[in-house]
């Protein structure tokens, strides 16, 4: 294929416009591996890229899509040959480099992971950056000592991509989950995927001035930041940990050292973007074996390229539920 379809964002005098255009393989950036993209996914960051957030994408016209799974067309790397199924998430894909909302991408070989045999290309995108990030949060919490006996695990932004995969994974690993969600109409969904208790966001905004809150949780996966993050930290049981990966509420929070010096708690940072390839491969392999989620498809919402623009508005409004998977074939 020398010509292909792509969802393209352009910067005009009146702001950013989105359309589906025909592109040519020779217009793609240089790189060792050319890939026919079969699936991509929708992440919060894709919506930031598509609306010109300078912290994500600075050069336009641009094709967003931080995730892609597909088949190698050609490779200058010994690690991959024509026809190999592969997955690319993070690094600069869909940020400064044309991303997965195009039917082809060309990327450096050290961004590319071999798709584990037990995962289909579509399932790898139901997971995508959100799923790998959820798994990284759980992996880091367990490395810090969290077990199902530590106490219930709090998950914020529960109906979102990272939140919903985190709930499903924690449930599969035997944890009891308390979900924090702003969507009362999605309680049945949250219960079905594994939450035992559901709190409105306001519950974690009360008691903001108190130095500590009741020792309740054995771990926290926080995708929202802001006051919710710090109130969740104040609600951890002695010696337990919070994994912070997101900022949909706010990148800032007011904090004191008290939970750290009185409750011995840990604030753990999680980044899936620049995570070294070997670590990414380890997490993918885990998600394809001991952490495989047989009911993953229940999180999937199928999208075509023509649906992406509306879905971007939805995720920016905090209305997305589960994982949007974009088919490019
Ligand atoms: N560190 C990393 O490597 C990494 C990787 C992936 C994602 N992230 C970050 O993680 C966050 C979640 O990403 P995502 O793709 O899962 O996004 P998403 O699908 O939009 O999920 C975010 C969820 O947060 C909740 N929410 C929205 N606005 C909120 C607000 N103002 N206050 C509190 N909760 C709010 C909503 O769930 P409810 O309605 O159920 O509350 C929403 O569905 C983003 O900030 C993203 O940039 C970071």
User: What pLDDT, on a 0 to 100 scale, did the predictor assign at position 328?
Assistant: 97
Dihedral of CA 283/89/313/299: which sign? Answer: negative
Cβ–ligand 1 contact at 202 (below 6 Å): no
Residue range(s) defining the domain that contains residue 306: 3-115+297-327
Read off the CATH number of the domain in which 320 is found: 3.90.180.10
Pocket test for ligand 1, best of 182, 311, 319 (most atoms within 8 A of CB): 182
Same domain, 182 and 71: no
Per DSSP, helices labelled H in the chain are 44-50, 121-143, 161-172, 187-193, 226-234, 258-263, 277-287, 308-316
157 and 108 within one domain = no
**Does any domain span residue 312?**
yes
Q: Which residue has the CA at smallest separation from atom 29 of ligand 1?
A: 249
**Residues 6+ away with beta carbon under 8 Å from 82:** 72, 73, 74, 75
- Whether the Cβ atoms of residue 264 and residue 238 lie closer than 8 Å to each other: yes
Distance CA 163, CA 52 (A): 25
Instruction: Quote the pLDDT of residue 207.
Output: 67
Does ligand 1 lie within 6 Å of residue 161's CB atom?
A: yes
Measure 131 CA to ligand 1 centroid, in angstroms: 12
pLDDT at 206: 75
Domain count, the chain: 2
Asked if the structure places residue 220 within a domain, the reply is yes
Q: What pLDDT, on the 0 to 100 scale, is given for residue 205?
A: 84
Testing ligand 1's pocket by substitution, the residue of 204, 223, 229, 231 carrying the most ligand atoms inside 8 A of its CB is 223
* Residue 279 within any structural domain of the chain: no
The answer to the question of residue 291 being in a domain is no
Residue 209 has a pLDDT of 79
What gap in Å lies between CA 81 and CA 89, rounded to an integer? 19
> What pLDDT shows up at residue 21?
97
Task: Report if residue 121 sits inside a domain.
Answer: no
Ligand 1 pocket test target in 191, 248, 283 with most atoms within 8 Å of CB: 248
Does residue 55 fall inside a structural domain?
A: yes
User: What is the per-residue pLDDT for 1?
Assistant: 54
Q: How far apart are CA 171 and CA 155, in angstroms?
A: 12
Q: Find out whether the beta carbon of 43 lies less than 6 Å from any atom of ligand 1.
A: yes
The pLDDT of residue 107 is 98
Shortest-distance atom of ligand 1 to CA 161 = 16
Which CATH number does the domain housing residue 265 bear? 3.40.50.720
Helix (H) or strand (E) holding 200: strand 195-200
Average confidence (pLDDT) per 10 residues, the chain, 329 residues: 92 94 96 98 97 94 98 97 97 97 98 96 98 98 98 98 98 98 97 98 84 96 96 97 96 94 98 93 96 97 97 94 96
Q: For residues 215 and 262, state if they share a domain.
A: yes
């Amino acid at each position: 294929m020398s010509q292909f379809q792509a969802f393209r964002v352009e910067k005009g005098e009146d702001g950013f416009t989105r359309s589906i255009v025909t592109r040519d393989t020779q217009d793609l950036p240089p790189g060792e591996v050319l890939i026919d993209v079969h699936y991509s996914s929708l992440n919060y960051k894709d919506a930031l890229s598509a609306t010109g957030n300078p912290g994500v994408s600075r050069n336009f016209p641009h094709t967003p899509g931080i995730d892609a799974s597909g088949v190698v067309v050609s490779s200058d790397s010994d690690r991959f040959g024509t026809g190999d199924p592969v997955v690319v998430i993070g690094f600069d894909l869909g940020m400064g480099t044309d991303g997965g909302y195009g039917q082809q991408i060309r990327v450096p070989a050290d961004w590319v992971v071999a798709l584990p045999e037990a995962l289909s290309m579509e399932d790898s995108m139901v997971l995508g950056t959100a799923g790998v990030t959820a798994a990284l949060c759980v992996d880091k919490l367990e490395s810090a000592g969290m077990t199902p006996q530590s106490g219930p695990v709090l998950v914020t932004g529960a109906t979102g991509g990272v939140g919903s995969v985190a709930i499903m994974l924690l449930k599969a690993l035997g944890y009891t989950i308390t979900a924090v969600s702003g969507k009362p109409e999605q309680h049945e969904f949250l219960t079905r995927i594994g939450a035992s208790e559901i709190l409105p966001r306001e519950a974690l905004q009360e008691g903001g001035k108190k130095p500590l809150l009741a020792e309740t949780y054995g771990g926290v996966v926080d995708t929202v930041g802001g006051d919710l993050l710090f109130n969740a930290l104040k609600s951890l049981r002695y010696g337990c940990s919070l994994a912070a990966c997101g900022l949909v509420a706010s990148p800032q929070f007011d904090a004191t050292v008290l939970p750290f010096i009185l409750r011995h708690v840990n604030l753990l940072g999680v980044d899936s973007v620049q995570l070294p390839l070997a670590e990414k491969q380890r997490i993918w392999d885990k998600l394809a074996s001991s952490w495989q989620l047989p009911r993953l498809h229940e999180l999937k919402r199928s999208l075509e390229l023509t649906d992406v623009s509306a879905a971007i508005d939805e995720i920016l409004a905090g209305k997305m539920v589960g994982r949007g998977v974009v088919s490019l074939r």
